[in-house]
């Protein structure tokens, strides 16, 4: 059965499977009567796609120990919270969830049972010591670079130790992850694949360099092997992941070093891998070879998430982004020259310290110039330990909120305009599961828009041309080109 992750996220939710269904239920009641019975595991995931990938790999590590995923913490012997530290709100959610689990754990122990709570991810990395003090009922605290050591940590916790593993270990966790990664997207048709981790850029607002550590690229052969495995297990679409995925420069099979553009060309040679994506990119690392891959590699989808954060040169400099608005706009031109049907999405922060009304207007102007198909905007959130947190010229909360509303209205209008521009077009849709209404199936366009189409379950796993007839702000509707009647037998174009 396809395993699913319980993903509760406020960050970059676009690619993350959101509560797609319930994982397998354990037949055994709690507490497990015999040691050999499956052990319930519940993983909660917040944050970016890299956390979603990591959660899946934690499941891979724990399955050989007899753990099986369960739908709710009530049925679990081990609960893992894989957390995000990117904005204040993300962190608060973790603490409120911890409080709820503490209640469950107490009730469980009162009934003579046991529950192990493990805190993973970026909050664990950044605030491990604080959590130990504030939430002593948490058994294990470990950072994103140590989860390959989970079996040993569990043994230590079972022996009564309160485990804290937030050092950046010398070994590469990817070398120690057992088994094969599973495609965990809907119906196992799409998969994430982490190729790059960490960040050396130190944008002045951002915690990631502190929580994930220095930039690291997995070797090309390891990436290709994992991709081949995912395709063998049914994945047709792979999204390469990295905090700065286009900074990837991995050891090549020939002993040299490849760029991400070169890696994508090698991935495109894998038979039956129909769609390749990558996220998240930094404008500074958009090398020529990657732009040319957009021109030359048909499997590379014409949709690019390229965060700009601000349209003001002053704010961009204060953020330490390393590029100007003109640099960004020129880059968009070059990308669109290479791939005229490229659609773009971005991230925007409003209310960064020192952002004036004029600087905010510059951001709106940049948004209008580019016309983003999809976007994510956030009010600046002060993060402890980052350079911008110490600035005296913080923007008032009410101003941040007002600017966020303006920017979100603009971005929503641009997204709606993009969806409307798809009306009448024929787009290839990868069908992944049932649609919103009975008799409908749903899939994704090359631009990641969800599409609902009358059709039969046999469509799942096929890439089929669909004529777009209905455009909503967040989804499309249409009909199959070759078979206007529901349930047609489309040729497999994957
Ligand atoms: N590596 C990516 C971004 C990763 S974080 C890049 O460089 O673009 C995802 C998004 O969260 C960022 O693009 C940014 O828009 C937002 N973000 C990060 N830190 C933030 C903060 N302190 N306050 C508000 N938004 C933030
Ligand atoms: Fe954070 Fe900047 Fe690194 Fe992106 S590039 S992860 S925003 S420090
Ligand atoms: Fe959040 Fe860590 Fe990802 S802070 S956005 S989970 S890298």
Res. 179 pLDDT band, cuts 50 70 90: low
Burial 380-412 (b: 16+ CB within 10 A, else e): bbebeebbbeeeeebbeeeebeebbeebbebbe
Asked if the model's pLDDT at residue 15 lies above 50, the reply is no
Q: Is 243 in the pocket of ligand 2 (CB under 6 A)?
A: yes
**Residues with Cβ < 8 Å from 27, sequence gap 6 or more?**
none
Q: Is 462 in the pocket of ligand 3 (CB under 6 A)?
A: no
When pLDDT is averaged across residues 346-362 and rounded to a whole number, the result is: 98
Q: Is 353 in the pocket of ligand 1 (CB under 6 A)?
A: no
Res. 252 pLDDT band, cuts 50 70 90: very high
Distance CA 110, CA 107 (A): 5
Distance CA 268, CA 364 (A): 37
Asked if the model's pLDDT at residue 36 lies above 50, the reply is yes
Q: For residue 280, say if its preceding peptide bond is cis, omega within 30 degrees of 0.
A: yes
Residue with token string 């009909």: 479
Question: What confidence score (pLDDT) does residue 11 get?
Answer: 37
Do the beta carbons of residue 267 and residue 303 sit within 8 Å?
A: no
Do the beta carbons of residue 403 and residue 360 sit within 8 Å?
A: yes
Question: What confidence score (pLDDT) does residue 174 get?
Answer: 87
* Element holding 191 (H helix, E strand): strand 190-194
* More reliable by pLDDT, 271 or 492: 271
Report CA(385)–ligand 3 centroid distance (Å): 15
Q: Which residues pair with 426 in a beta bridge?
A: 467
Report CA(86)–ligand 1 centroid distance (Å): 7
Do the beta carbons of residue 56 and residue 239 sit within 8 Å?
A: no
Question: What confidence score (pLDDT) does residue 351 get?
Answer: 98
pLDDT tens-place string over residues 392-416: 999 999 999 999 999 999 999 999 9
Asked if the model's pLDDT at residue 204 lies above 50, the reply is yes
Q: Sign (positive/negative) of CA torsion 433, 435, 436, 439?
A: negative
Distance CA 359, CA 400 (A): 13
Asked if the model's pLDDT at residue 319 lies above 90, the reply is yes
Do the beta carbons of residue 68 and residue 26 sit within 8 Å?
A: yes
Mean residue pLDDT across the chain: 90
Question: What confidence score (pLDDT) does residue 93 get?
Answer: 86
Q: Is 244 in the pocket of ligand 1 (CB under 6 A)?
A: yes
Model pTM score: 0.90
Backbone torsions φ then ψ of 371, nearest 5 degrees: 70, 85
Q: Ligand nearest 322 Cα, by number?
A: 2
When pLDDT is averaged across residues 343-351 and rounded to a whole number, the result is: 98
pLDDT tens-place string over residues 365-380: 999 999 999 999 999 9
Question: What confidence score (pLDDT) does residue 1 get?
Answer: 34
Asked if the model's pLDDT at residue 91 lies above 80, the reply is no
Distance CA 478, CA 469 (A): 5
Distance CA 395, CA 411 (A): 22
Q: Ligand nearest 88 Cα, by number?
A: 1
Question: What confidence score (pLDDT) does residue 329 get?
Answer: 98
Asked if the model's pLDDT at residue 283 lies above 60, the reply is yes
Distance CA 469, CA 476 (A): 8
Let me know if 112 is exposed, middle or buried by CB neighbors in 10 A (0-12, 13-18, 19+): exposed
Question: What confidence score (pLDDT) does residue 483 get?
Answer: 61
When pLDDT is averaged across residues 258-275 and rounded to a whole number, the result is: 98
Asked if the model's pLDDT at residue 272 lies above 70, the reply is yes
Q: For residue 31, say if its preceding peptide bond is cis, omega within 30 degrees of 0.
A: yes
Backbone torsions φ then ψ of 40, nearest 5 degrees: -70, 135
When pLDDT is averaged across residues 192-219 and rounded to a whole number, the result is: 96
Question: What confidence score (pLDDT) does residue 165 get?
Answer: 94
CB atoms within 10 A of CB 197: 26
* More reliable by pLDDT, 459 or 9: 459
Any idea of the CA torsion for 131, 132, 137, 138, to the nearest 10 degrees? 70
CB atoms within 10 A of CB 257: 13
Distance CA 92, CA 50 (A): 20
Asked if the model's pLDDT at residue 29 lies above 70, the reply is no
* Alpha carbon nearest to ligand 3 atom 1, residue: 84
Question: What confidence score (pLDDT) does residue 169 get?
Answer: 85
Asked if the model's pLDDT at residue 135 lies above 70, the reply is yes
pLDDT tens-place string over residues 432-487: 999 989 999 999 999 999 999 999 999 999 999 999 999 998 999 999 997 645 44
DSSP per-residue string spanning 306-317: ---B-S-HHHHH
Max Cα distance, the chain (Å): 67
Q: Is 280 in the pocket of ligand 1 (CB under 6 A)?
A: yes
Q: Where are the beta strands (DSSP E) in 213-284?
A: 216-217, 237-241, 249-251, 257-259, 275-279
Residue 293 tokens read as: 């891959």
When pLDDT is averaged across residues 107-136 and rounded to a whole number, the result is: 93
Q: Is 207 in the pocket of ligand 3 (CB under 6 A)?
A: yes
Which CA distances in Å does 254 have to 161, 251, 265, 271?
46, 8, 15, 22
For the CA of 201, the nearest atom of ligand 1: 7
Q: Is 243 in the pocket of ligand 1 (CB under 6 A)?
A: yes
When pLDDT is averaged across residues 62-91 and rounded to a whole number, the result is: 94
Asked if the model's pLDDT at residue 86 lies above 80, the reply is yes
When pLDDT is averaged across residues 216-227 and rounded to a whole number, the result is: 96
């Amino acid at each position: 059965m396809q395993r699913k992750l319980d993903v509760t996220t406020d960050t970059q939710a676009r690619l993350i499977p959101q509560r797609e269904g319930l994982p397998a239920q354990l037949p055994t009641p709690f507490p497990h009567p015999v040691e050999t019975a499956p052990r319930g595991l519940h993983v909660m995931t917040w944050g970016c796609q890299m956390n979603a990938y990591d959660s899946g790999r934690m499941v891979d590590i724990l399955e050989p120990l007899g753990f099986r995923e369960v739908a709710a913490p009530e049925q679990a012997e081990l609960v893992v919270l894989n957390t995000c530290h990117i904005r204040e709100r993300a962190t608060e959610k973790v603490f409120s969830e911890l409080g709820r689990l503490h209640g469950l754990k107490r009730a469980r122990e009162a009934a003579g049972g046991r529950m192990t709570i493990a805190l993973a991810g970026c909050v664990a990395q950044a605030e491990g010591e604080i959590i130990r003090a504030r939430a002593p009922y948490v058994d294990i605290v470990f950072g994103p670079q140590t989860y390959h050591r989970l079996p040993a940590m569990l043994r230590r916790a079972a022996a009564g130790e309160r485990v804290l593993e937030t050092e950046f270990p010398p070994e590469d966790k990817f070398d120690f992850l057992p088994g094969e990664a599973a495609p965990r997207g809907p119906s196992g048709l799409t998969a994430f694949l982490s190729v790059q981790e960490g960040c050396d850029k130190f944008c002045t607002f951002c915690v990631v360099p502190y929580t994930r550590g220095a930039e690291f690229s997995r070797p090309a052969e390891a990436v290709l092997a994992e991709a081949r495995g995912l395709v063998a297990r049914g994945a047709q679409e792979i999204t390469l992941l990295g905090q700065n995925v286009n900074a990837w420069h991995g050891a090549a099979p020939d002993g040299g070093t490849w760029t991400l553009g070169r890696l994508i060309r090698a991935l495109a040679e894998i038979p039956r891998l129909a769609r390749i994506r990558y996220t998240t990119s930094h404008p500074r690392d958009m090398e020529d070879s990657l732009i040319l891959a957009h021109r030359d590699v048909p499997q590379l989808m014409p949709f690019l998430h390229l965060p700009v954060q601000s349209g003001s040169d002053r704010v961009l400099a204060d953020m330490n982004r390393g590029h100007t608005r003109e640099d960004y706009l020129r880059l968009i031109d070059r990308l669109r020259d290479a791939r005229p049907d490229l659609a773009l999405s971005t991230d925007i922060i409003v209310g960064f310290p020192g952002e004036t009304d004029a600087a905010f207007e510059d951001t709106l102007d940049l948004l209008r110039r580019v016309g983003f198909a999809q976007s994510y905007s956030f009010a600046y959130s002060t993060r402890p330990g980052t350079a911008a947190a110490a600035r005296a010229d913080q923007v008032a909360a009410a101003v941040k909120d007002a600017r966020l509303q303006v920017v979100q209205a603009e971005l929503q209008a641009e997204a709606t305009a993009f969806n409307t521009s798809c009306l009448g077009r024929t787009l290839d849709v990868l069908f992944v599961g049932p649609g919103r209404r009975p008799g409908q199936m749903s899939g994704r366009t090359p631009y990641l828009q969800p599409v609902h189409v009358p059709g039969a379950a046999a469509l799942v796993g096929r890439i089929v041309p669909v004529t777009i007839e209905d455009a909503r702000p967040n989804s499309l509707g249409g009909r199959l080109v070759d078979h206007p009647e529901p349930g047609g037998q489309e040729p497999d174009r994957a």
